[in-house]
Amino acid sequence: MNLWNRWDAPHYLSIARNGYQVTGEDRFFIVFYPLYPLTVRVATALVSDQIVAAFLVSGVASIAAALLLWHLARLDGTAEFASRAVWFLLIFPTAYFLHIGYTESLFIALALGTFLAARHDRWALAGMLGALACLTRINGLVLLPALAVEVLVQYRATRRFQVRWLWIVLPLFGVGGYLLINQTVHGNPLQFLTYQREHWHRTLVWPWQGIGENVRAIGWRKPNEAQMIGVQETFFVALGLVGTVAASFLLRPSYAVWMAGNWLLFTTSSFVLSVPRYALVLFPLYLLFARLAASRTWQMLLTVCSLLFMALFIILFVQGRWAF
């Protein structure tokens, strides 16, 4: 199992074990959000082994994500369509992150639960799940405009304001909780931004600036780095952009907002990195793939390409090389 405990995973385990620290290298881990380490800490009390606990949390969350995606897709299509969407989630080239010590499975489960609750008009539940998502990853913030658009869609259908729609502000409490942790630990609610800039070398820039650096990396980095940091990062940025445009025409407006908001978060960093992993949360992609896969040719093509790249990335990851 230690083969899978690489890159960011040990940081989450450190937080689960020791909490956020004020001094030493561990103080920089405040940039990692608290809910996933907290769930790992709870699970560790049950299974005694921290890595096993992390796998358990991620495994359960990935099953929940698959079930939630199926039910969400089923609202707009057949059972076969929903099953295809789940298939493409589970074979996405970076889907191995769903099962190891990373936040992806927990976050996507919470995000999908938020959308599903909103679609079923259960706004209190949507708000609570959205708040938990905001305690898991920064892109939980994108749920706010997405839910607002979902409210607008429902308002246009009824032309009557519903008080229960106000539950969509609950995700702000999740954001506030994370800022409070920063204030409590470091005396500054925005300390994570300072560390992102000074230690992790990430600042906000225009999308074309960060993307341009990745494109230029193809020319000057070593071949393996050029492939992973240049070609693959750029490809998944492009995939996200194409998916955002397609979602704007083919899917619900709130799904398009989710795509656009996440894409902007990925690409407005001065150091565009890990986009293939971040793209896992773009669940409308799986709905779009499921539409394409109504054609047997497209289904075969998408499946083969996804599995081949997943195999490549897994081999690199377990060898300790960069795989997002």
pLDDT in tens, 185-196: 999 999 999 999
The pLDDT value recorded for residue 179 is: 98
Q: Report whether pLDDT(229) > 90.
A: no
Mean pLDDT for 150-169 is: 91
Reported as a single tens digit per residue, the pLDDT across 263-295 is 999 999 988 889 999 999 999 999 999 999 999
Tell me, what's the pLDDT at 113? Answer: 98
Determine the pLDDT at residue 215: 86
- Name the residue with higher pLDDT: 108 or 226: 108
pLDDT of residue 148: 97
Given a cut of 90, whether residue 218 has pLDDT beyond it is no
**What per-residue confidence (pLDDT) applies to 159?**
82
Q: What percent of the chain has pLDDT over 90?
A: 82
Average pLDDT over the chain, rounded to whole? 95
**What tens digit of pLDDT does each residue of 124-146 get?**
999 999 999 999 999 999 999 99
pLDDT exceeds 80 at position 216 = yes
Is residue 109 scored above 90 in pLDDT? yes
**Banded pLDDT at 153 (limits 50, 70, 90):** very high
Q: What is the pLDDT of residue 166?
A: 96
Check pLDDT > 90 for residue 223.
no
**3 state SS for the chain:** CHHHCCCCHHHHHHHHHHCCCCCCHHHHHHHCCCHHHHHHHHHHHHHCCHHHHHHHHHHHHHHHHHHHHHHHHHCCCCHHHHHHHHHHHHCCCCHHHHCCCCCHHHHHHHHHHHHHHHHCCCHHHHHHHHHHHHCCCHHHHHHHHHHHHHHHHHHHHHCCCCHHHHHHHCHHHHHHHHHHHHHHHHCCCCHHHHHHHHCCCCCECCHHHHHHHHHHHHHHCCHHHHHHHHHHHHHHHHHHHHHHHHHHHHCCHHHHHHHHHHHHHHHCECCCCCHHHHHHHCCHHHHHHHHHCCCHHHHHHHHHHHHHHHHHHHHHHHCCCCCC
